[in-house]
Amino acid sequence: MLLRIPQLLSATQVVQARKVLLAAEWVDGNVTSGHQSARAKSNLQVPEQHPAAREVGGMILQALSSNPLFMSAALPQHVFPPLFNRYGLGQKFDTHVDNAVRQHRLSGLRIRTDLSATLFLAEPADYDGGELLIEDTYGSQSIKLAAGDLILYPSTSLHQVTPVTRGERLASFFWIQSMVRDDGHRRLLFEMDQSIQQLGADLPSHRGVVQLTGVYHNLLRQWAEV
């Protein structure tokens, strides 16, 4: 399931994040690459331990925890501390798949990567190219969102960042270990949760709201790993 989460960060937060990140020291993006990615990747990253990464990463984690759409879709058990990359002229990330397990160097946190996320921090008009191409059951999806918007997608997906031909692409990226490992199960739970919320808003006294909520939690109880 590919899901756009609009305005995870407000315009004010995006401006602040960009100010902090662009003043930071940047290094070769392959500092976090596996063997496969190292041959495909050309970009820059803020080191994981840099104060700028911790400051903006904290802002993002707080926004995620208070975003109902993200919580419903991801059912997060662990969120990898956000990382940050930038792509200048000619830089790209060829087709790859994310590592199944990621370990945070500072905390030692190790997570299974069920979901991948990209949070855009540059406006689409600020650069050409730099689209995130994600392969799913419906073919290749081209993603280039407004600054502050996030795309959530299965980490099993083949994906790439196309070469930047003008300007600069700035983004955050990270991974989520969900309480529900199976993507199909997560999709069913998400769609049911959204339907329950809509029914509750339209017919708050309908007994079906309680019954469906019970079904939702019984399925979550059956599928969740906590």
Binding residues for 2-oxoglutarate: 169
How far apart CA 220 and CA 224 sit, in angstroms, is: 5
Residue ranges at the known binding site for Fe cation = 96, 98, 159
- The answer to whether 9 and 50 are in contact (CB under 8 A) is no
How far apart CA 159 and CA 172 sit, in angstroms, is: 16
- The answer to whether 50 and 24 are in contact (CB under 8 A) is yes
Residue ranges at the known binding site = 96, 98, 159, 169
Q: Which amino acid is at 105?
A: R
- The answer to whether 91 and 163 are in contact (CB under 8 A) is yes
- The answer to whether 78 and 109 are in contact (CB under 8 A) is yes
How far apart CA 44 and CA 86 sit, in angstroms, is: 5
